[in-house]
Amino acid sequence: MELFAMGEYGAYVWSSFGLTLIVLIVCVVQARRRHRKTISDIRLRLRAMETIE
């Protein structure tokens, strides 16, 4: 476990890496969600137009 201790700086090093991982995951989730939402919005609009016609 010595390896993971990072001397006296464990809290600083691990929080930096952890936060970076979280931000990257959030970026991926945001991008996916937005893509799905855009597609479903466009589909809804097309369906609405079909019913009017």
Partner 1 sequence: MWNFIHKLASPPHFYKLSAKMVPWFTIAGVLLVLYGSIAGLFLAPPDYQQGDAFRIIYVHVPAAYLSMMTYVIMAISAGIGLIWRMKLAHAVAAAAAPLGAWFTFLALITGSIWGRPMWGTWWEWGDPRLTSELIMLFLYFGYMALRNAIDDTVKADRASAVLVLVGAVNVPIIHFSVEWWSSLHQGPTLVREGGPAIQTAMLYPLLAMIFGFTFLFAALLLSRVRTEVLFRERRAHWVRDLVLSAEEAA
Binding site for partner 1 (CB under 8 A): 3, 6-10, 12-13, 15-17, 19-20, 23-24, 26-28, 30-32, 34-36, 38-40, 42-43, 45-46
Q: How far is the CB of 14 from partner 1 (least distance, A)?
A: 9
Q: How far is the CB of 51 from partner 1 (least distance, A)?
A: 14
Residue 45 Cα distances to 23, 36, 49, angstroms: 33, 14, 6
Q: How far is the CB of 7 from partner 1 (least distance, A)?
A: 4
